[in-house]
Every structure is written in structure tokens, then in C-alpha cells.
């Protein structure tokens, strides 16, 4: 009997992820911090590790440096040794110097040499930007039992959300007989998770067949469904695409809820704690006599003297006496000074909020961000990496303060709801 361990894994980690706004200004989406001590890609890598798969190629492209530093040699996920490993596959240009990957299928096609140098029975293709727990070993065995050319991980989602996904209509044997990519009026609630198992030879042949087919969802899968054996693999656990600010915030909040089904510890999710600034060399968190904690995650190296409520804090965060952090996500080494308030906000690394300042001011959550109304519309405010918010400054809802903003860039005491602040002091 063939072992599922023979499969090769490709993780697509090169997308821009622009809907995450300034969180991806300096990093690839899979490298965005999550849940205090993790990065988003840790979930895909840990699922691969826990499924017993040994050989992984990570396809990078957009601002890959922090992602590459995080992956290292793969030691954190036990991908070291003669028969196992993580290989970072850097961008491949096409005929023209600026011609980078045009789609998911194009990205894999341009790395066929990696597949050919690592022969396998199957190729598992994953996205590096989803939060979930899944046994790929079981999915591969299902794929084999169906004698499938392609198997797609699929789950039921509300029809109101189907416009974000590829959707499949299946027969009584779970064979997919029709496919719709991001339908405006869906006929099914069965959504693709962006998780594929391909027969190795079938994948190679289909990618070589027509090089104008650049995307799996738009091109490869519809033709495969019409001509070949494509099956749905039903999934019933926790899975979330965190490609928007709202989804990203909600998934972080799910970490705090026992009933959510999201549990990185129980799922045995690993991260690279040796990456610069992470938890390896941090002292335990310290809590002052005046601190107040409710439903929160506080990571190593933090010092809490104020209040932290329903929030996720990465390593090294300082919350001074009288300060309040609630319904928020704070990345590494943020400092919240005395009597400051951070309410419904996401702060990137090394943000400092001055004495008495308020990030998330007022009760009007409905004024969307003027520049990116589709990114920020529920009240969440974003503060970019290294920004310094002056004492007593007020920043409203659905605002964006760009990275490395200094106190001098703030004109006036208030940034109104929906406004964005840039380094030159311009407010839009």
C-alpha cells in the first residue's frame, strides 16, 4: 500500500493581500502576525507537519524577506534531515523582466522543475494565508480511494459569503459536476478552501497543456471538472480566510473564545520562536498590582499595569498604569502610556501611544475609511509599524495612521472618523 507521506506539498505564499491594508505594507500576507505569537503561515506549515508530510516548497513573491526569515531552514516544524525539508521558491520572471506570477496555476507551472526534482504520487497545493486545522493524510487517502485526478477541500459557508469563493455543485458521490468561481448569485453553499490534491502526473500534464490557463479557480478546475475526475473532500472544522481586516480581527478574537473551535495549542501549531524579536529570549509577562485582565491573551515579555480586555497582545507589549486596551490586537513591543485608551484597533510592531491619547475615539462606527471604504467599515482603526501617537491625541474610528509616523506629523488634536494620516502630515 502506498503511503500518503510520499506526497509533495506546495504552499502558495506570494500574494499581495492588499485588503489587509498597512499590515502588508512591509510584509507578505502569510507573514502577518496572528494570535500573539504566531504568523498566519504557521497554520499551513503545522498542518503539513502534523499530517506526516515531509517535503514542502513555499512559493514567494511579494515582499518575502520577513517570511523567509521566519521560515529559516524549517527547524521549527521539524522539516530538517535527509528526507525532509522546506524549500523557499523565489519569484520566477517570465519572458519579460517584470512578468511575475500571473496566477496560482502560473506560479506552480513556473516551478515544475521543483516538482520534477522531487517525484511524488500526489501534489498537495495549499494557500499560506488561512487559519485552520486539517489532516492532509486523510485527504490524500480519500483522493486515492476515489481514484481522483483532483480533490478539492470544500466546506459549507453562508450563501451571503459565497461571492468570495469558488463553489462546486456535487453529485451523490461527491464528484464535482459544475464549478462557479466567486458567483454573484450562488447555486450552492459549498465553497472551495483553496486546498487541492492533484495526481502528480495529471498536474504536470495539465499545466503543460495550455500555458494561458494561469489560475486554478478560473481556468484549470473548470476544465478538469468538465473532462476528468474531480471530487470534493468535505471539511467540517474551523477554517477562515483572513484576507480582510474584519476577518483577521474576528479570527484573532476567536482565539479568546473557547467555543469558537480555534485552538492553536490543541492543534499543535508551531512557530519559529527564534526569529528576531519573538518569544525565545523574552522574560515571562509581568502583571502589576493595579492591572485588570478580562478574556485576553498576553504574551511573554509584556508588562501590564493597566487594563487589558478582550484583546490579543504579542510579546513585549507594555500597558502602563491607568491605560486601557480593549477589543484590540497589538503586535510586538507596542507601548501604551499612562491613561491612554486603545479601543477596537490593530497596532503593528513598536507603536507608541502617548499619555492620555485615545485610539478608537467616539461611538460612530459607520463612517468608512475615505480612501479604502472596503477595508475599514466596522470601526477598526489601524496604526502602522513604528508610529508614535502624541499625548492626548484623539484618533477616531476606521482610521489609518501610516507606518513610522512621528509626533510632528499630527496636525491638531483629533483625526476624525474615516481619515488617514501620512508621513508628510497630509490627512485624507
Do 387 and 338 have their domain in common?
yes
Q: Verify that 178 and 248 share a domain, yes or no.
A: yes
- Which tens digits make up the pLDDT trace of 87-98? 999 876 555 545
Tell me what the mean pLDDT of segment 120-143 comes to.
95
Question: What was the pLDDT predicted at 1?
Answer: 42
CATH number reported for the structural domain that contains residue 119 in this entry: 3.90.550.10
Burial of 6-19, coded b for 16+ CB within 10 Å and e otherwise, reads: ebbbbbbbbbebeb
State the Rg of the chain over Cα. 23
Nearest partner of 55 among 110, 104, 11, 90, judged by Cα: 11
Between the two ends of the chain, the Cα-to-Cα distance in Å is 63
178 in Cβ contact with 108 (< 8 Å): no
212 and 323 within one domain: no
Residue 204: helix, strand or coil by DSSP? helix
Q: What is the pLDDT of residue 3?
A: 47
What is the number of domains present in the chain?
Answer: 2
Query: 240: part of which helix (H) or strand (E)?
Result: strand 239-241
Identify the weakest region by mean pLDDT among 5-9, 114-118, 398-402. Answer: 5-9
Angle at 61 between CA 203 and CA 212, to 5 degrees: 40
**Residue 190 domain-assigned (yes or no):** yes
- Cα–Cα dist 11/30, whole Å: 10
Which of 6-20, 58-72, 308-322 is most confident? 308-322
Both 202 and 323 in one domain: the answer is no
Which residues are CB-contacts of 97 (< 8 A; sequence separation ≥ 6)?
none
Looking up cell 464549478 gives: 179
Q: Tell me, yes or no, whether 215 lies in a domain.
A: yes
- Rounded Cα–Cα distance for residues 40 and 255 (Å): 13
| Together in a domain, 248 and 298 | no
Task: Name the average pLDDT for the chain.
Answer: 92
397: domain CATH number is 2.160.10.10
Please report whether residue 269 resides in a domain: no
Confidence band of 83 (pLDDT split at 50, 70, 90): confident
pLDDT in tens, 307-338: 999 999 999 999 999 999 999 999 999 999 99
Same-domain status, 161 and 31 = yes
Last residue of a domain, one of 211, 242, 260: 260
334 and 350 in contact (C-beta within 8 Å)?
yes
Q: Is the pLDDT of residue 279 over 70?
A: no
Least reliable range by pLDDT among 6-15, 122-131, 147-156, 346-355 = 6-15
Domain range for 338 is 286-421
Distance, CA of 181 to chain centre: 21
Q: Cα–Cα–Cα angle for 47, 258, 305, nearest 5°?
A: 105
Q: What's residue 281's pLDDT? A: 79
DSSP of 287-338: E-TT-EEES-EE-TT-EE-SEEES-EE-TT-EE-TT-EEES-EE-TT-EE-T
Q: Is the pLDDT of residue 61 over 90?
A: no
Does the structure show a pLDDT above 90 at 257?
Answer: yes
Give yes or no for a contact between 195 and 139, defined as CB atoms under 8 angstroms apart. Answer: yes
428: cell is 485624507
Q: Can you give the pTM of this predicted structure?
A: 0.93
Any domain includes 88: yes
Give the percent of the chain with pLDDT over 70.
95
DSSP 212: T
**Which tens digit of pLDDT belongs to each residue from 175-193?**
999 998 888 898 999 999 9
Segment 35-43 mean pLDDT: 96
Decide if 281 is inside a domain.
no
Q: Quick check: 353 and 359 in contact, CB under 8 A? A: yes
pLDDT recorded at residue 402: 96
Amino acid at each position: 500500500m502506498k503511503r500518503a507521506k510520499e506526497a509533495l506539498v506546495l504552499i502558495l505564499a506570494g500574494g499581495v493581500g492588499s485588503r489587509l491594508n498597512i499590515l502588508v505594507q512591509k510584509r507578505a500576507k502569510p507573514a502577518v502576525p496572528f494570535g500573539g505569537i504566531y504568523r498566519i503561515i504557521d497554520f499551513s506549515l503545522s498542518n503539513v507537519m502534523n499530517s506526516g508530510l515531509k517535503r514542502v516548497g513555499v512559493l514567494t513573491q511579494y515582499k518575502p524577506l520577513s517570511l523567509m526569515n521566519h521560515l529559516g531552514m524549517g527547524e521549527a516544524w521539524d522539516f530538517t534531515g535527509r528526507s525532509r525539508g522546506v524549500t523557499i521558491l523565489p519569484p520566477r520572471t517570465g519572458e519579460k523582466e517584470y512578468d511575475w506570477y500571473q496566477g496560482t496555476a502560473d506560479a506552480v507551472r513556473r516551478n515544475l522543475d521543483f516538482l520534477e526534482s522531487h517525484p511524488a504520487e500526489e501534489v498537495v497545493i495549499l494557500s499560506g494565508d488561512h487559519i485552520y486545522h486539517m489532516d492532509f493524510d486523510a485527504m490524500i487517502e480519500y483522493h486515492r480511494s476515489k481514484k481522483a485526478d483532483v480533490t478539492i477541500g470544500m466546506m459549507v459557508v453562508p450563501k451571503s459569503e459565497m461571492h468570495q469563493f469558488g463553489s462546486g455543485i456535487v453529485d451523490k458521490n461527491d464528484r464535482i459536476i459544475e464549478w462557479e468561481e466567486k458567483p454573484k448569485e450562488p447555486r450552492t453553499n459549498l465553497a472551495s478552501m483553496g486546498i487541492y490534491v492533484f495526481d502528480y502526473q495529471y498536474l504536470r500534464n495539465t499545466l503543460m497543456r495550455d500555458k494561458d490557463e494561469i489560475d486554478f479557480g478560473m481556468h484549470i478546475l473548470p476544465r478538469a471538472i468538465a473532462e476528468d475526475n474531480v471530487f470534493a473532500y468535505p471539511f467540517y472544522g474551523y477554517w477562515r480566510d483572513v484576507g480582510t481586516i474584519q476577518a483577521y480581527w474576528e479570527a484573532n478574537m476567536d482565539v479568546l473564545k473557547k467555543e469558537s473551535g480555534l485552538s492553536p495549542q490543541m492543534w499543535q501549531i508551531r512557530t519559529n520562536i527564534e526569529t528576531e524579536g519573538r518569544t525565545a529570549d523574552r522574560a515571562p509577562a509581568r502583571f502589576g498590582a493595579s492591572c485588570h485582565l478580562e478574556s485576553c491573551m498576553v504574551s511573554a515579555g509584556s508588562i501590564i499595569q493597566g487594563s487589558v480586555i478582550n484583546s490579543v497582545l504579542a510579546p513585549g507589549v507594555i500597558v502602563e498604569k491607568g491605560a486601557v486596551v480593549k477589543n484590540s490586537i497589538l503586535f510586538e513591543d507596542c507601548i501604551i502610556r499612562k491613561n491612554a485608551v486603545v479601543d477596537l484597533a490593530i497596532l503593528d510592531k513598536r507603536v507608541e501611544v502617548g499619555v492620555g491619547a485615545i485610539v478608537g475615539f467616539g461611538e460612530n462606527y459607520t463612517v468608512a475609511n475615505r480612501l479604502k471604504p472596503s477595508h475599514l467599515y466596522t470601526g477598526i482603526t489601524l496604526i502602522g509599524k513604528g508610529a508614535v501617537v502624541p499625548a492626548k491625541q484623539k484618533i477616531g474610528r476606521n482610521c489609518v495612521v501610516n507606518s513610522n509616523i512621528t509626533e510632528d506629523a499630527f496636525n491638531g488634536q483629533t483625526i476624525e472618523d474615516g481619515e488617514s494620516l501620512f508621513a508628510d502630515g497630509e490627512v485624507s
